[in-house]
Structure 1
Amino acid sequence: MSKKLYRETDFQRLSGDNGIDKSREQGWSPFKKDYARLLHAPSFRRLQGKTQLFPGSESDFFRNRLTHSLEVAQIAAGIATTVNAKFAVELQGEEINSDLVEFAAIAHDLGHPPFGHNGEKALDDLMKQHGGFEGNAQTLRILATVERKLVRNGALPRSDVGLNLTYRALASVLKYDKPIKPKRSLEDDLQKGYYECESELVQKIKNAVAPGYKGKKFKTIECSIMDLADDIAYSTYDLEDSLHANFVSPFSLLYALRTNQAVSSEVLRKCNKALKNSNYPQLADVEELISTIKDIFEGLLGAAAPDDQRDLHLWASNKMLNENSLVRTQFTAERVGKLIHSVELVINQNYPQLSSVRLTRDGLVKVEVLKHLNYELVIRSPRLALVEHRGRDLVSDIFGALLKSNGTLLPDDWRERYDEVAGNAGKAARLICDYVACMTDAYAAEFHDRLFGKGTSMFKPM
């Protein structure tokens, strides 16, 4: 690896400033400043009011988007530290910047709207003639546009550069390197990518971080680590919440794979897609997924079980995980540690900044089977689907009312922004979309009640 992981243009900010020298004088790296700016931003704090898996009103045990993001950041930092140590020779004295990795992790869920996937689908349907909506695309937009920070760049202050982050920090949240079509039919599925109105910004990011790169997949090493850390968190911490809520158990996971063909086929399809994306030639079958579930949970009892006692061991694991919080916590901690230490580095010799990480094949199958089983059995369960379905109606109603009001229902600072774009239907719709996407679950429900409900005070400050 003759080329460097980081280059001077990585540190340039949207305003045009290169704060590297200023940051060194203060003892702060540019990426540490990026992390601090996001940590204190309202959009980050609002994540505490957005559901991760189970509504926070049900129990203060369950994770929300904010605590999930912090856990992803911890896993991501662990991956970076492990990779720097295990692959020191390959990195030739350089190290992956842990401040930047943690920034990517706490930023990765910023774009999630209220009420999860159904809120996302509702906003995408409403915006299909104006560029669409997608959580990852919204994350980039929040960081570069929606959030406001006064920046003195020359004689006059300006606030049109979001949090005025470094280009490398913005690159760390670019998971999907393709623009979303500006106009789509109502029947089209949700598209992952970035908004076409951000195309110029994305090109500036690419030029700063990987000048001359013409490949089809632009994804930095920090983004790859964040993405993997997110998957590990889904397959461990979300599973822990599901076990605590008695939504699943080792038995129910195994039973679904053995008897529910629709579930097992979908989980197998997604597992094999992940294996292909990680360039593993050997695909899985359902029997391997069943064996993987047994291997994961039998470890709670120490040594592997004899063949004639595997079901008994699984029953014991079932009881302990559903009834003992200490066992659940220990189980989760050990799994995360093992997965972090099974991470491999795949170096891009021509563009080291676009290198990637992956799990060993065994580790990847373990993550994928639990992640997708949890999705099929929990997120798509009738009890959770009912909450999100209601949320979809709320989001649609609020968006329609705000757009119909021509901005008069917006708070003063948002109304000022609306007045600047009122003559452009697409920009006006995008601004309304930004405002609704920023809402927490509880605020969206309350705002809807104030618009359409009965008995709620109309004079409560917005």
Structure 2
Amino acid sequence: MNPLYGPSDRKREAGIIEHGEIEAHRSPWRRDYARLIHSSAFRRLQGKTQVFPGHESDFFRNRLTHSLEVAQIAKSIAIRLNATHPLFKVKSQKIDPDLVEFAGMAHDLGHPPFGHNGEEALDECMREHGGFEGNAQTLHILAKLEKKSTLTQPDDFQPFQEGGIDCRAGLNLTYRSLAAILKYDDVIPMTSDHRGPGKTKKVVKGYYDEEKELVERIKEAVVGDKSYQDFKTIECSIMDIADDIAYSTYDLEDIFKSGFLRPLDLFVLDKEIYENVVKTINERLGKQYKDTPTTVTEKNVYQVLTYVFEEVFFVSKAGERLVKRQDVTKEEKKMAFATEAQSWSKLMADDGYYRTDFTAALIQLFLEGVEVLKDPNHPQLHKARLTVDTFIAVETLKNITYQAIIRSPTLQVVEFRGKDIIKKIFKAIVTNDGDRLLPTDFRKIYQRANNDSQKRRVVCDFIAGMTDRYAIEFYSRLFGANGLTMHKPF
């Protein structure tokens, strides 16, 4: 018996309800993976923004392609740890790669349209009714919203019983699969005054209050203790690393392709950007590396950039010969080296071969920087993390991308417009019998809700599931004057 996995990990909310017998040749985790791939929430990720809006270019990544890349990186980490780390080298103690891959595929299901601003918009609409957060929504989708199973099977597929009892079971996944996407072990407060100092107007990470009992059952199944604190499985921690690596490399590749920045530009950004990067990294170091106290400065950020983009500063053979020439002035030599550096920077940004080689080498470097903290009591909760130096490198690239591009005026204008669209759609539905605007299935759930908070959650679920394009279309049908059809189906 593998100490990482027990029989209760395989239990499901609605029991084992399958078409046919359980397959000996396919694990429960692989079955969960298949259910995810065939779900509507997974398909809709193709219409949700990663960095640049999808209509800008076919090249840029969306949430679906990002999830595929995170899943591949996560599975590579698991395979590498199984092959090299003493905790997992024994055949009976391997990390299940399928379960890790599932976590990577599923981790972004809960992201709403329009990126971070979409998340903020829905949280503002739900702040006094349980909040909104992307990771919480992921669990909510997998455990409740997807229309695969109900607790009333096999007799019928009624999602609600008399009295409004909620019988939805989402994809009816195993408890261990649900645990693999549970990144934050905290309940999101129902109202803003319970969020704590400094958090009343910020998105709070965690899971919804209505999923509290489910999370207790997940903990009971995985570690045998429903009240266990700081719960995070080895698969979830691997997925978290893979997500950060993907952000720090592939998003940077998209930025170079877009022409927004080239490698040399990263060295001459506004001072405020470097200050914000340093502040964010130090905050995360304080939380995640309490055992190895470390602080970074702007100098460290420049050191990371110089190391990552060292090719830009290589001196060619022609440059070496130029240095030795006595008939060339110091200013001419400086100009020649600057021109050479600019040429390399342009080549790395514009040439697809160089970009691909750059990101591949960077990911390999980061994969080699994964370590594991052993949990002596619960092997399921061994913690994978990056070595502190690798973490600083990943966080530097990830946060520079965020500060310089995602928070730039160019993209913020787009996201601000998206935030406005979401809030106006929400307001239209929750006021003056606006539930008539909901699709039939959502309206039925809305009408069965017992209170205002539950009704708003239904509206929130509807909007969060929209793609960027559908949200714009829905908004235009409500408020626009551009002649769009009124007869397009939901």
Which TM-score band applies after superposition, normalised by the shorter structure? over 0.9
Which residue of 2 is the match for residue 30 of structure 1?
28
Is the aligned partner of 1:444 residue 2:444? no
Asked whether the equivalents of residues 297 and 317 of structure 1 are also in contact (C-alpha less than 8 Å), the reply is no
Which residue of 2 is the match for residue 265 of structure 1?
275
For 2:372 and 2:117, the matched residues in 1 are separated by: 35
Is the aligned partner of 1:282 residue 2:299? no
Which residue of 2 is the match for residue 76 of structure 1?
74
Is the aligned partner of 1:337 residue 2:373? no
Which residue of 2 is the match for residue 124 of structure 1?
123
Which residue of 1 is the match for residue 394 of structure 2?
367
> What SS does structure 1 have at the residue aligned with 2:371?
strand
Asked whether the equivalents of residues 3 and 349 of structure 1 are also in contact (C-alpha less than 8 Å), the reply is no
> What SS does structure 2 have at the residue aligned with 1:23?
coil
Q: CA deviation at 1:273?
A: 2.9
For 1:300 and 1:459, the matched residues in 2 are separated by: 55
Is the aligned partner of 1:230 residue 2:243? yes
Which residue of 2 is the match for residue 459 of structure 1?
487
Which residue of 2 is the match for residue 149 of structure 1?
148
Is the aligned partner of 1:322 residue 2:320? no
| CA deviation string 1:16-70 (max 9, x = no partner) | 3387x94343x21100010110101000000000000001111100000000000
Asked whether the equivalents of residues 113 and 120 of structure 1 are also in contact (C-alpha less than 8 Å), the reply is yes
* One-letter code aligned to 2:222: V
For 1:141 and 1:450, the matched residues in 2 are separated by: 28
C-alpha spacing 1:213/1:347, structure 2 compared with 1 (3 Å)? farther
What is the RMSD computed on CA atoms of the aligned residues? 2.5
Asked whether the equivalents of residues 53 and 238 of structure 1 are also in contact (C-alpha less than 8 Å), the reply is yes
Asked whether the equivalents of residues 12 and 18 of structure 1 are also in contact (C-alpha less than 8 Å), the reply is no
Is the aligned partner of 1:384 residue 2:411? yes
Which residue of 2 is the match for residue 203 of structure 1?
216
Asked whether the equivalents of residues 37 and 163 of structure 1 are also in contact (C-alpha less than 8 Å), the reply is yes
Which residue of 2 is the match for residue 428 of structure 1?
455
Asked whether the equivalents of residues 216 and 227 of structure 2 are also in contact (C-alpha less than 8 Å), the reply is no
Q: CA deviation at 1:136?
A: 0.6
Which residue of 2 is the match for residue 358 of structure 1?
385
C-alpha spacing 1:43/1:89, structure 2 compared with 1 (3 Å)? closer
Q: CA deviation at 1:187?
A: 4.9
Asked whether the equivalents of residues 273 and 403 of structure 2 are also in contact (C-alpha less than 8 Å), the reply is yes
Q: CA deviation at 1:6?
A: 0.6
* One-letter code aligned to 1:288: N
For 2:273 and 2:84, the matched residues in 1 are separated by: 37
Which residue of 2 is the match for residue 411 of structure 1?
439
* One-letter code aligned to 2:489: P
Is the aligned partner of 1:192 residue 2:190? no
Q: CA deviation at 1:322?
A: 1.9
For 2:129 and 2:359, the matched residues in 1 are separated by: 43
> What SS does structure 1 have at the residue aligned with 2:54?
coil
Is the aligned partner of 1:171 residue 2:179? yes
Q: CA deviation at 1:397?
A: 0.9
Asked whether the equivalents of residues 104 and 173 of structure 1 are also in contact (C-alpha less than 8 Å), the reply is yes
Asked whether the equivalents of residues 111 and 119 of structure 2 are also in contact (C-alpha less than 8 Å), the reply is yes
For 2:367 and 2:226, the matched residues in 1 are separated by: 30
Q: CA deviation at 1:137?
A: 0.5
Asked whether the equivalents of residues 111 and 136 of structure 1 are also in contact (C-alpha less than 8 Å), the reply is yes
> What SS does structure 1 have at the residue aligned with 2:14?
coil
Is the aligned partner of 1:15 residue 2:43? no
| CA deviation string 1:400-431 (max 9, x = no partner) | 1122235211112222222221x421111100
Asked whether the equivalents of residues 217 and 226 of structure 2 are also in contact (C-alpha less than 8 Å), the reply is no
Asked whether the equivalents of residues 41 and 147 of structure 1 are also in contact (C-alpha less than 8 Å), the reply is yes
For 1:374 and 1:207, the matched residues in 2 are separated by: 39
Q: Using the TM superposition, name which of 333-342 and 280-289 deviates more.
A: 280-289
Asked whether the equivalents of residues 76 and 105 of structure 1 are also in contact (C-alpha less than 8 Å), the reply is yes
Q: CA deviation at 1:13?
A: 0.6
Q: CA deviation at 1:9?
A: 0.5
> What SS does structure 1 have at the residue aligned with 2:385?
strand
Which residue of 2 is the match for residue 244 of structure 1?
257
| CA deviation string 1:175-200 (max 9, x = no partner) | 11000110115952211111111111
Please, what TM-score do these two structures have when normalized by structure 2? 0.87
Which residue of 1 is the match for residue 325 of structure 2?
none
Q: CA deviation at 1:264?
A: 1.5
Q: Which runs of 5+ in 2 are unaligned?
A: 160-167, 194-198, 321-332
Asked whether the equivalents of residues 11 and 18 of structure 1 are also in contact (C-alpha less than 8 Å), the reply is no
For 2:106 and 2:295, the matched residues in 1 are separated by: 33
| CA deviation string 1:233-290 (max 9, x = no partner) | 000000000111122222221112xxx3322121112222333313432322211210
For 1:161 and 1:303, the matched residues in 2 are separated by: 61
For 2:158 and 2:379, the matched residues in 1 are separated by: 34
For 1:312 and 1:351, the matched residues in 2 are separated by: 57
For 1:343 and 1:134, the matched residues in 2 are separated by: 28
Q: CA deviation at 1:313?
A: 7.0
Q: CA deviation at 1:89?
A: 4.9
For 2:268 and 2:86, the matched residues in 1 are separated by: 44
C-alpha spacing 1:215/1:240, structure 2 compared with 1 (3 Å)? same
| CA deviation string 1:77-96 (max 9, x = no partner) | 10000011111455543111
Q: CA deviation at 1:317?
A: 3.5
> What SS does structure 1 have at the residue aligned with 2:437?
coil
Asked whether the equivalents of residues 129 and 190 of structure 2 are also in contact (C-alpha less than 8 Å), the reply is yes
For 1:325 and 1:246, the matched residues in 2 are separated by: 13
* One-letter code aligned to 1:174: L
* One-letter code aligned to 1:30: P
Is the aligned partner of 1:394 residue 2:417? no
